[in-house]
Amino acid sequence: MKYNLKPIYARSVTVLTAAYLCLGALVAVAVDLAVASASGSAVGWTPTRLVGDWLLVAGSGGVFYGAVTHHRRRVEAARRDLETSNQKLQVLSRVFRHNVRNDLNVIQGYTDLLADRVEDDRSEQYLETIRQTTDDVVEISEKLRAVEDASPEPPDCRVDLVDAVHEAVGVLDADCASVTVEAPPEAWICADDSVEFPIREVFENAVTHNDGATRRVEATIRENGTTTCLEVIDNGPGIPSDECAVLQAEEETPLSHASSIGLWLVKWTCETQGGTVRFDANDDGTTVRLRFESAASPATPTR
C-alpha cells in the first residue's frame, strides 16, 4: 500500500508542531484516564501529573520543531544543489552537442579537403585517425540526445517489446553477424518510444565490439507475470569485469571507470522507463538483461 505524504510535507513547521502538541496533549490525557480506569482508582490522575505530562509533550514538541526545521533546511539545500547540477549538465550537454559538434564538423570538412591533397601513405593514415576520432565524438553527441529526450516522469504508455527488438535488429548489418530472436508474438511493456535507444544500443554493442570470426547474437524475450525480460547474448570478448563492477556500483572513480558512455546511457535510459539492466560477462561473451514492467495488450478488453 502506498501513502501520499505530500499533504503533510506541504504544511509549515509551525502547523505540524501545533498538530503534534495537540495530539500529544490528548494522548497524555487518554493514557492517564486509561491507567486510572484500569487500576480502579483516580488517585494517579491528578492535576500535577497532568501538568507534568503536558510539559513533557511541550518539551518533545520543541525537539520535534527543531528536527523538522533541520530536516527541511537540508532538503532545501539538497534541492538547490540538484537544480544547480541539472543546470550545469544541461549547459554542458548543449555546448557539447552543438558548439563542439559544429567545431568537429569543421575539422571533418578540412580533413576531407586535405585528403585530396596528400599523397603519401603516412599522411593518409594520420588523416584517417583524425576522421575516425571526430566521427566517434560526433556519435557520442548523438547518443547524448537520448538522455535529453528521456522524460524523468514514469512512462504512462506502452510499447511492444517484440516490435522494438525486430526494428533494432533490422538496422544491423546482416552480413556481419548472425542474429536470432526468440520471442512471443507480442510482449507489451510500460514504456515510451525512448526505450528504443537502449535496445538498439545493446544490439549494436553486441555486433560492433565483437571481433570474432563468426559473430553471433541471440536474443530472447520472456514474460514472467508482472515483468518482461529481454536477454541478449553475444560471443564477443565480453565487457571487462571492472567496467561491469562500475556499472553495478553506479559510481566511477579515477581508478575505476567505464570506458564507454554507451553502457551508462543504456543503464540510464532503461531506468527512466522503470526498468533495470544487468550486465554479465565472461570469456565466452556478454549477456545483457533488460527487465521492464509488463503492460496489458491494447487488444485486452478493460473491465
Contact 254, 214 (CB under 8 A): no
Whether 76 has a pLDDT exceeding 70, the answer reads yes
Mean pLDDT of 59-76: 85
Which three three-digit cell numbers place residue 22? Answer: 495537540
pLDDT at 149: 65
Task: Report the interhelical angle of 161-170 vs 196-208 (nearest 10°).
Answer: 40
Whether 232 has a pLDDT exceeding 90, the answer reads yes
Whether 89 has a pLDDT exceeding 80, the answer reads no
Distance CA 206, CA 229 (A): 17
Tell me the CB-side half-sphere exposure of residue 221, using CA atoms within 13 A: 22
Mean pLDDT highest for which of 28-32, 60-64, 199-203? 199-203
- Which residue intervals of the chain are DSSP H helices? 6-9, 13-39, 47-94, 101-115, 121-149, 161-170, 196-208, 241-249, 261-272
pLDDT single digits (tens) 20-33: 888 888 887 787 77
Mean pLDDT highest for which of 80-94, 186-200, 205-219, 260-274? 186-200
pLDDT at 154: 67
Q: Which residue has the higher pLDDT, 264 or 190?
A: 190
Residue partners of 159: CB distance under 8 A and separation at least 6: 188, 189, 191, 192, 193, 195, 196
Mean pLDDT of 42-63: 75
Mean pLDDT of 30-51: 69
Contact 184, 191 (CB under 8 A): no
| Residue 78 binned pLDDT confidence (cut-offs 50, 70, 90) | confident
Whether 44 has a pLDDT exceeding 60, the answer reads no
The percent of residues in the chain predicted with pLDDT above 70, rounded, is 79
Mean pLDDT of 154-172: 87
Distance CA 24, CA 31 (A): 10
Whether 200 has a pLDDT exceeding 50, the answer reads yes
Whether 62 has a pLDDT exceeding 80, the answer reads yes
User: Which residue, among 226, 221, 240, has the nearest Cα to 286 in the 3D structure?
Assistant: 240
Among the ranges given (87-96, 128-137, 186-195), the one the predictor scored with the smallest mean pLDDT: 87-96
Residue partners of 57: CB distance under 8 A and separation at least 6: 21, 24, 25, 27, 28
- Please state, rounded to an integer, the average pLDDT across all residues of the chain: 79
Whether 42 has a pLDDT exceeding 60, the answer reads no
pTM here is: 0.62
Among the ranges given (23-32, 34-43, 104-113), the one the predictor scored with the smallest mean pLDDT: 34-43
Among the ranges given (78-92, 145-159, 235-249), the one the predictor scored with the smallest mean pLDDT: 235-249
pLDDT single digits (tens) 270-302: 888 889 998 887 777 888 999 999 998 886 554
pLDDT single digits (tens) 236-257: 776 666 566 555 655 444 433 3
